[in-house]
Amino acid sequence: MEDKKLAIIATKGSLDWAYPPFILASTASALGYETQIFFPFYGLQLLKKKLALEVTPLGNPGMPMPMGMDKWFPVLGMALPGMQSMMTAMMKKKMKDKGVASVEELRDLCQEAEVKLIACQMTVDLFDMDHADFIDGVEYAGAAAFFEFAGQSDICLYI
Amino acid sequence: MADFDQELDASGLNCPLPILRAKKTLNGMTGGQILHVVATDPGSVKDFDAFAKQTGNELMESKEDGGKFHFLIKKC
């Protein structure tokens, strides 16, 4: 049987949204899928050598907050300086305590499993980014290159 | 529990790490050998079942014992 194929577009550059593409891609590889992830726009943050991903409670009523903080600090409170870095630190600690892998670890596992990581060259130009800021092994291409693979994929996800 | 050739302790690890570690360990084994995986993630019960079905490796045994989950996987 020919390998199944999974194509993912990872568009978001926050800590919480970094997980779905890397978890699904690494797992799919373990199941024998040939996998590619295309990273346009904010998704490019997930390919930086030095990840500085944060999570924000702003505009996210679904985010569980410790000690009922969401009741005491409504939306405006969440906009206070330092709130985002505090939330990020708490989220990272929680993940570590629960044995959830770090984004770096999952990304390494993806590369180890030969998941192809493709950065959107247009976005690199748009934000004046430098290829040197990104991890080794990343390929740079555009929409047409993504469709070449996505068109033959069994599963295609936009995250 | 039957004999096994290799053991993997994935205790304390959460999805998808037990599966990824198991896959990596199986890569270094030969066909017919048996891997014993120990995990604490309750989601791993269904995950190892699905892993076996999709990869062709045989899940010979899956059981819970003292809050830990044990899996015997025969490499195809």
Map tokens 């053991």 to a residue.
B7
Taking only the tens place, the pLDDT of each residue in A84-123 is 898 899 999 999 999 999 999 999 999 999 999 999 999 9
Residue of B15, B20, B50, B76 marked catalytic: B15
Average pLDDT over residues A70-95: 82
Q: Where are the domains of chain B?
A: 6-74
Spell out which chain B residues touch chain A, with contact meaning CB-CB distance below 8 angstroms: 12-17, 19-20, 22-23, 40-41, 51, 54-55
Q: Above 0.90 for ipTM, yes or no?
A: no
Q: Is the pLDDT of residue A70 over 70?
A: no
* Residue A43 belongs to domain with CATH number: 3.40.1260.10
Q: Where are the beta strands (DSSP E) in B1-76?
A: 6-10, 34-39, 58-65, 68-74
Name the residue range of residue A25's domain: 5-58+102-158
Q: Does domain B6-74 have CATH number 3.30.110.40?
A: yes
Shortest CB distance from B16 goes to which of A27, A32, A98? Answer: A27
**Does A112 reside within a domain?**
yes
Task: Based on the residue annotation, tell me whether B76 is a catalytic residue of this protein.
Answer: no
Residue numbers in A near B55 (CB within 8 A): 30-32
The H or E element containing residue A39 is: strand A34-39
Name the domain count of chain A.
Answer: 1
**Does A79 reside within a domain?**
no
Its pTM stands at 0.88
Task: Give me the phi and psi of A139, to 5 degrees please.
Answer: -105, 155
CA distance B40 to B43: 9
